[in-house]
Homo-oligomer: A and B are copies of this chain.
């Protein structure tokens, strides 16, 4: 199995290497990730400038071919699949992101923006995020990602899956369940702060205005708020009568792994 790992926090972010390490023995892992933090970059791809790629000489995990891309997360997946890899990928894993990508906020997430590019190319794609910006605990997310990849690899789901996975910021044993969810509304909107360099006004956009809306029990927002893993399949874009394949084995696998039954 050939696995592409990417993210939007950048090739030096710890979450990337946690998940790459967790997946390493499941197949041939390649990393193609932005050379800089790209939080908020969403689905952006670089059409109007050239994109540069640098192979990392000594990646944190030996043996994982690693590219640092001067571009967006979407660029990283496009370059990896179309130019940098001699063979096709079976799965794309994007993350582990520091900060949730819940509800419609996922649309402005580079983590999800990268995963879209795998999905659109017919590759199973999984975005993984932890719902905290500080003191992020990656262990449960790495464990969940590994379980999901294993379950997908052992099945023959077709067409490809897009899964947006969010975890509470907890140790594995404090997570209460894993739910197949749907997207909630926006969780945060943006505030704008004015600043000045003494001569001219500038603006800081802050993605920190909590939208106080109750979240229905079947949404990703509700699940994470209740210490549960939210596994959201992307669906409704596509076919009016679309039914997600049965994802319960994926959720069961995640809880099994978090409870120590993983492998």
List chain A positions with a Cβ less than 8 A from chain B.
12, 35-37, 39-54, 56-58, 60, 70, 72, 74-75, 78-79, 82-83, 104, 107-108, 113, 116, 120-121, 133-134, 182-183, 185-186, 189-192, 194-195, 197-208, 218, 235-238, 240
Bound-complex Cα distance A191 to B224 (A): 38
Contact of A205 among B42, B78, B207, B236 (CB under 8 A): B78
Q: How far is B12's CA from A37's CA once the two chains are assembled, in angstroms? A: 17
Residues of B within 8 A of A75 (CB): 205
Asked whether, in the complex, the Cβ of B45 is within 8 Å of the Cβ of A202, the reply is no
A194 engages B83 (CB within 8 Å):
yes
A95 to chain B, nearest CB (A): 17
Closest 7 CB pairs of A and B: A236-B236, A42-B43, A40-B47, A44-B44, A50-B202, A82-B192, A83-B192
**Taking A60-B58, A205-B78 as contacts, is the C-beta distance between A43 and B45 under 8 angstroms?**
no
Rounded to whole Å, the gap between the CB of A35 and the closest CB of chain B is: 6
Also in contact, A134 and B204, with CB within 8 A (given A40-B46, A48-B40, A52-B48): no
Q: Which of B42, B53, B57, B201 contacts A74 (CB 8 A)?
A: B42
Question: Do A121 and B189 touch across chains, with their CB atoms under 8 A apart?
Answer: yes
Q: Taking CB as reference atom, which chain B residue is nearest A42?
A: B43
Q: Does B46 contact A44, Cβ atoms closer than 8 Å? A: no
A42-B43, A79-B203 are known contacts. Are A197 and B36 too (CB-CB below 8 A)?
Answer: no
Q: Is B53's CB under 8 angstroms from A201's CB?
A: yes
Residue in contact with A44 in the complex, picked from B41, B48, B60, CB distance below 8 Å: B41
A208 close to B198 (CB less than 8 A): yes
Q: Tell me, in angstroms, the Cα distance from A42 to B44 when the chains sit together.
A: 5
Query: What is the bound-complex CA distance between A192 and B194, given in angstroms?
Result: 20
The reply to whether B83 and A203 contact each other, CB–CB distance below 8 Å, is yes
Cα-based distance from A104 to B50 in the complex (angstroms): 24
List 13 A-B pairs, Cβ < 8 Å: A35-B36, A36-B70, A37-B200, A39-B47, A42-B113, A43-B113, A48-B197, A49-B50, A50-B204, A52-B202, A79-B203, A104-B120, A197-B206
Which chain B residues border A200 with CB–CB below 8 Å? 37, 52
